[in-house]
Amino acid sequence: MEQLTLKAYLRLQKHTQNSIKSYLFIINRYLNQNPDAWQYDYKAIMDYFKQRLLNNRSGIILLQAGIKKYYDYLLHIGVIYHHPCRTICIKKKNKHIIHRDLFTTQELCLLLKREERYAVLKYRNKLVISLLIFQGLTLSEITQLRLTDINLDEASIRIKGGVTVNRRILNLKPNQIVLLDKYMRLSRPKLQRNETKFLLLNKLGNPIKADDVQYLVETFKYLFPDRKLNIQTIRQSVIANWLNTYQIPLEDVQLLAGHKRPSATLKYQLPNMEQAIHTLNTYFPI
């Protein structure tokens, strides 16, 4: 009986074509670097991960998943009888939020004031910026918005969520309702060339791409020449302002941001200085 191939095994696991392609790439590179990998034990695999972490931490989660799939396959076809790395769990390094580099709401609102090169993009650009600075949407959430996600009667927008963020329904501000109305009546019909369910279109009439949004944000860098303005720092600023400026409860901010875990929201919270001073004075009076 012909032995099941790795590719056939991955198909058997109901993985998508893209996932299979990624797994095969990772596993083939791993095997090229480690020809005797089928004999590796826990220590040998951990040594490999440690070396990778020393050189570059990026892609470590995908690498880990691919290598585990390789040993799943060996176990399935009977080459090995014990999975050597099933319990290995390497997490991404938590990135600290540097609050002094973030932007106030007033600073973010400056992004709504701009001279547009293309008049037809005026309301679309303002709408995109408003969704970044008021709702704190991620780049993928912006590009995936459909017409059906907007509910003007309830002044809300539905965010589908994804791997890293939860789905949610967010309220729209009154000025966003005006922007949406103007965009839908005055701009979108001029931009649209083919039937599409996507809400935001670029100047070629196609659904807006990540590059379009990133370029739009980059055009505002002159406002803050010494600071890092991008979609990520805008979202971080929005979440930090919800917690620290507007004192919205942590659990509510978690829902607004779509965070899957409270710890993801908690890292945006500044320490309570008044409470800290009170504690110091209590235990260490001057």
HEC sequence for 108-143:
HHHHHCCCCCCHHHHHHHHHHHHHHHHCCCCHHHHH
Within 10 A of 201 (CB to CB), how many other CB atoms are there?
A: 23
Does the pLDDT of residue 1 top 60, yes or no? Answer: no
Q: Looking at residue 275, what is its pLDDT? A: 45
Q: Which residue has the higher pLDDT, 196 or 93?
A: 196
| Range scoring the smallest mean pLDDT among 36-45, 115-124, 276-285 | 276-285
Tens digits of per-residue pLDDT, 121-164? 999 999 999 999 999 999 999 999 999 999 999 999 999 987 78
Mean pLDDT of 245-272: 88
What are the sequence ranges of the domains in the chain?
A: 6-77, 99-266
Q: Looking at residue 9, what is its pLDDT? A: 93
Contact 75, 4 (CB under 8 A): no
Q: Where are the alpha helices (DSSP H) in 83-228?
A: 105-109, 122-134, 139-143, 174-182, 188-191, 210-218
Contact 243, 261 (CB under 8 A): no
Measuring CA to CA, which residue among 92, 9, 89, 79 is closest to residue 40?
Answer: 79
d(CA 16, CA 181) in angstroms, rounded, equals 39
Contact 182, 152 (CB under 8 A): no
Mean pLDDT (the chain) is 88
Q: What is the pLDDT confidence band of residue 58, given thresholds at 50, 70 and 90?
A: low
| Residue environment code for 34-68, b if the CB has 16+ CB neighbours within 10 A, otherwise e | eeebeebeeeebeebbeebeeeeeeebeebbebbb
| Range scoring the smallest mean pLDDT among 55-69, 102-116, 175-189, 215-229 | 55-69
User: Is CATH 2.60.120.260 the right assignment for the domain spanning 99-266?
Assistant: no
Contact 267, 241 (CB under 8 A): no
Q: Looking at residue 283, what is its pLDDT? A: 47
Q: Looking at residue 280, what is its pLDDT? A: 45
Only one residue has tokens 């979609």, namely: 231
Mean pLDDT of 73-77: 94
Q: Looking at residue 253, what is its pLDDT? A: 94
Only one residue has tokens 């965010």, namely: 159
